[in-house]
A and B are shown apart, each in its own frame.
Chain A
Amino acid sequence: MRTGRAQAELLLGPEAPRLRGTLCVTGHHLLLSPGPQDLWLLLLRNVDSIEKRVAGESGTITLRCKDLRVLQLDIEGVEATLDIARSIEALSSLESVITSFPFFYRPKGLRLGDAWHFHPPESYYKRVARETKAWRLSEVNENFSLCPSYPRAVIVPRAVDDKALALSARFRQGGRFPVLSYHHARSGTVLLRSSQPLTGPQKRRCAEDEELLRAVLAGARPGAQGFVVDTRSAQAAKQARMAGGGTEAKAAYPGWKRLHRPLERGRPLQESFVRLVEACGDLEQSTDHWLSRLEGCSWLAHVKEALSTACLTAQGMEREGACILVHGAEGTDSTLLVTSLAQLILDPLSRTMVGFQELVEREWIQAGHPFQLRCAHSAFSHARPKHEAPTFLLFLDCVWQLGRQFPLSLEFGEALLLALFEHAYASPFGTFLCNSEKERCLCEVRSQTHSLWSRLNQPKEQRKLRNPLYVLNPLALWPSVEPQSLQLWQGLFLRWTRPPEPPEVAWEKVWQIVTEKRKTDDSQPTASASEPQP
């Protein structure tokens, strides 16, 4: 592997000033030092695609990053250009987890092992146990033998023993048997998630799996009904039987009804993302067709579908008092999208700074969303997408839409969502590494890398991430999913093309107003009571 060093000029964006200095490629970073004190740094893992051009005595490298930035490097010397390009290409696509940067990153002020104390199933179980006695924490998956993509502990109906869980797991794709995702105390109902049942063409049944879902209804509000929200179309679910999958037959699960709410996933979703980013980056396009291009990307249609499915789920729980099981096929993508959004709609706690982090940890990271596979490439890669899909980004976009419609109800601001997007795709922290808890254990992620949460919870960061307008809203948030109410998330998709100043200036002003209020609150003289009454 060649590591290059050369004189270069860096162009960070259409209206940004150029940086000139010595360019250098290290094992994990691209460095440019424009002066003795300054250092510009790019994590090589962030590079999504690289394009090189040489002309005469110099060359140009265009780096398209996973966080959607486009950088241009003008490098002196043809040989140097090619060397650096080769190095970046090789180093940015390394797949080994344990040699990745998080295993070497040792920032000042953070201690290894800090903030890995998020043990969502356990800590969440404590919350559930306060509210109901019908559920228990099971360590049946202690060594990940039942389900490799589940964490060690899961919350299951008290009435079902570990042996039955094991049998149910064998009846579900990837062993993802139904587990509790959220307990809605107000209506006494629960939200569950799983993968598809392996009914196959013979329409197999599994008594333990049926028993599990029966126990769910028995443990809920008396007379509660169940709904299975299948994130595939009825057609697709039926076809899945041919490949050994399927869906819950009504006769086998009394009290449960099925709803199909097809959500886009996999490659079409990735392509939608790619097309949208392409449209947003095309500054030369004729001005007339922006809206039809936006329509052609279908991204906003996916946002609408995801939000309305989550709303329907939440509505079923709060308004109809029903228990809801969500699954698609594998139960690691659109399933998590729906369950996490439904919680955000219903649960005021999950809208706090800590609660939202916990939600992401519990419903995405621990629940086995395969981040490594899904976020291997972002929107610029020319490689044929294999497992990539921006499901997590779709989730963040839906959260942003919710925050736009309820600007006072989320304790965190857009900056947290942007940070999560960046770190999911390329991060010096270990939080989003690997595809499951099992893999993270094997790689010793918890002991060898720093947690993103400990960085985000530093006071300096918090000020950037908090929503100064936040006021606790104890109610459910019912967003509008009409097209008129959903907008392109400019802060993300146009982040590097629109001028950043106006929103920042506004943000400062909001802080100023709110801080002034707090100051006057604090400076109320406590001595006033000693004033003698005239």
Chain B
Amino acid sequence: HLKLRQVENVRLVDRASSKKAVLGTLYLTATHVIFVENTPDTRKETWILHSQISTIEKQATTATGCPLLIRCKDFQIVQLVIPQERDCHDVYVSLIRLTRPVKYEELYCFSFNPKLDKEEREQGWMLVDLGEEYKRMGLPNNYWQLSDVNRDYRVCDSYPSELYVPKSATAHLIVGSSKFRSRRRFPALCYYYKDNHASICRSSQPLSGFSARCLEDEQMLQAIRKANPGSDFIYVVDTRPKLNAMANRAAGKGYENEDNYSNIKFQFIGIENIHVMRNSLQKMLEVCELKSPSMSDFLWGLENSGWLRHIKAIMDAGIFIAKAVSEEGISVLVHCSDGWDRTAQVCSVASLLLDPHYRTLKGFMILIEKDWISFGHKFNHRYGNLDGDPKEISPVADQFIECVWQLMEQFPCAFEFNERFLIHVQHHIYSCQFGNFLCNSQKEREELRIQERTYSLWAHLWKNRADYLNPLFRADHSQTQGTLHLPATPCNFMYKFWSGMYNRFEKGMQPRQSVTDYLMAVKEETQQLEEELETLEERLEKIQKVQLNRTEVKSKQSEPGRHSGFSTSDNSMANTPQDYSGNMRSFPSRSPSQGDEDSALILTQDNLKSSDPELSANSDQESGVEDLSCRSPSGGERATSEDSSKDRDSDEAVFLTA
């Protein structure tokens, strides 16, 4: 599908300041778009996976070339200017085709080879084992059993083949209940809280219409209640807004009627549907894309997008369920419409609040594997891996990942993993580099033989786990053990905009120094020193024994500067000023007559002459010095025009009127 493979003299525009651009070569491959800078010493490369590309926009040709705007699903925005209109068109057409694969086999994971042998690959797929996970929960037990009713996906093709159901639920009951549920997604166990036998179950909506009933379904819910011996009722949580659920009744679907089911308490929690969420994200990203927005523009835009309100709705639902389970000891059945989007979000947020295991690196992988992958979250449709209906696309998992981040912000010591881990998981949900998130269900994945043909993301992340650890994690602290307790007050101001995700490619906006990386470096060095210390002490002991034997004592000498301390990564130090002049493009410059180049030179020399070598080296890293010369001409022009202005009073300096 490649119309051309390479374009020379392409400019990559810096989105922070549109005047900056780097010249380079654009390469198109079967899997990536690659831009390589011409700058000989760095030759910096920008790689973009085709599967990450969300939209490509060809903009009006200008004197400098034909601009191409690429928006990515991981929120990177790349603006290229291609000299020839024809080349630009060819790149555009090629990318349009490449970013819309029609067969799974076209996806990156089928060609990606991390140089692991067959055995390693198989081991990688075994890292996350759901059978073990249910055992960890304390299953099977007197109340819950593993059911094979869905073997070969006979009852429900979007469910896993192995499921836990109440012991009293016979196959007949399950099949009967499944016929009364959308897409036959009958109530099944999601999480079992062994401290008090309460559980979280999930399903899709009942096909109740205005009056339909199903005896088996009613008995199924009864069975769930009985599996929690201490309780008189269960909660049925419908995560949709009531209006949506009622509208579904007209289509023969709907929600449980409390009168028909004995001992249920029914509850709506208004989380909006995938279409609302898609539009909300779109609106928020438009705000993120604004160039130098005012504080008002930003806050209004963020509020109008509704994004944080939706995040809070999901969190509230999770909190409600976690409280019902841990504090009241009441089991909860959760559903939405089909039970694979909102239900997955809410169940996993609740599990994360309830069980510290899911707040560990491995536990979080298991959580995603269980609630999302195995229970048939439609990754392919939601994240547009294959070309499909754009109305199916929605940031459902993105929202869950953000919920986790919001919790991490509130409980900095409760999670074993760090923000980078969440960002990388988000990236790979879209990347199609690993097979984990392919397809819409387990059944499809089995048919495609994903595990034989692709690699597992979990193994890859686990191998690099050192990068993903949170140095502040305190597994031993009372506050981070057991259920996480959120304050009772409605703390809407706790939910913050996540610039580390949505503006993550605008490095200038992020904190310039990373506490996580610094502390990890400190910890690592402490560990090394301790190990060294141990071996040294052992040897010292031996020596002392020898010396005692010889009854000789040598004078002690210290070894200065044996280890020079650690330094933080270089990029944490490099920092350049940004555009602080609001609507003006540049700082005022000296008028041309005074010789800008000369003064810029003097400045450079001053820096070089500086007594502190580190300082001058760093100053050179900063690009500000070059900026001066390229900014000054325009500044000068403005200066002259301003001087000749009619109003003699307005002798204000040049750059105010841009």
Contact = CB atoms under 8 A, between A and B. Distances in A.
Interface stretch (B134-142, B176-184, B219-227, B302-310): B302-310
B154 interface: no
A260 B590 contact: no
B487 A514 contact: no
Given A234-B652, A408-B568, A530-B555, A510 B539 contact: no
A200 interface: no
Contacts, number: 260
Contacts of B511: 404-407
Contacts of B309: 287-288
Contact of B471 (A251, A503, A513, A528): A513
A257 B654 CA distance: 8
Contacts of A221: 602
Given A406-B513, A478-B577, A525-B536, A290 B413 contact: no
B299 to A, nearest CB: 4
Contacts of B464: none
Contacts of A521: 529
B215 interface: no
Interface in A282-330: 283-285, 287-292, 294-295, 298, 300-301, 304, 308-309, 311-312, 314-316, 319-321
B293 interface: yes
A238 interface: yes
B658 interface: no
B472 A506 contact: yes
A113 interface: no
B494 A520 contact: no
B588 A227 contact: yes
A217 to B, nearest CB: 13
Contacts of A503: 412
A497 B489 contact: yes
A483 B299 contact: yes
A531 interface: yes
A505 B477 contact: yes
Interface residues of A, number: 95
A28 to B, nearest CB: 33
Contact of B573 (A473, A498, A525): A473
A82 interface: no
B615 A480 contact: no
Given A474-B612, A498-B487, A301 B295 contact: yes
A530 B556 CA distance: 6
B522 interface: yes
A215 interface: no
Interface stretch (B88-96, B317-325, B449-457, B579-587): B579-587
A481 B559 CA distance: 47
A484 B489 contact: no
A215 B526 CA distance: 54
B300 A295 contact: yes
A342 to B, nearest CB: 11
A288 B492 CA distance: 8
A469 B490 contact: no
A289 to B, nearest CB: 7
Interface residues of B, number: 107
B471 A304 contact: no
Nearest to A471: B568
A405 B513 CA distance: 7
A401 B627 CA distance: 26
Interface stretch (B66-74, B349-357, B495-503): B495-503
Contacts of A288: 309
B556 A234 contact: no
Nearest to B312: A287
B543 interface: yes
Interface string B453-479: 000000000000000000110100101
A487 B298 CA distance: 12
Contacts of A311: 577-578, 580
A238 B650 CA distance: 9
A166 interface: no
A474 B513 contact: no
Interface in B111-146: none
Given A227-B653, A404-B511, A475 B573 contact: yes
Given A320-B628, A485-B510, A525-B533, 20 more contacts: A186-B615, A227-B588, A227-B653, A238-B649, A257-B652, A259-B653, A284-B490, A291-B300, A291-B303, A294-B299, A298-B296, A319-B603, A405-B512, A405-B513, A484-B499, A513-B526, A517-B526, A521-B529, A525-B536, A529-B557
Q: Which 10 A-B pairs have the closest CB atoms?
A: A257-B653, A250-B651, A483-B298, A291-B303, A295-B299, A301-B295, A506-B412, A311-B580, A529-B557, A478-B577
Interface of B: 288, 292-300, 302-303, 308-309, 312, 410-414, 471-472, 474, 477, 479-480, 487-494, 496-497, 499, 503, 506, 508-515, 518-519, 522-523, 525-526, 529-530, 533, 536-537, 539-540, 543, 554-559, 562, 568, 572-573, 575-578, 580-582, 587-590, 594, 599, 602-603, 606-607, 610, 612, 614-615, 618-619, 622, 624-625, 627-628, 649-656
11 contacts: A251-B651, A259-B653, A316-B587, A319-B587, A319-B624, A319-B628, A484-B499, A513-B519, A516-B523, A520-B526, A531-B540
Interface of A: 14-15, 186-188, 221, 223, 225, 227, 234, 238, 249-251, 257-260, 280, 283-285, 287-292, 294-295, 298, 300-301, 304, 308-309, 311-312, 314-316, 319-321, 404-409, 469, 471, 473-478, 480-488, 490, 494, 497-499, 501-503, 505-506, 509-510, 513-514, 516-517, 520-521, 523-532
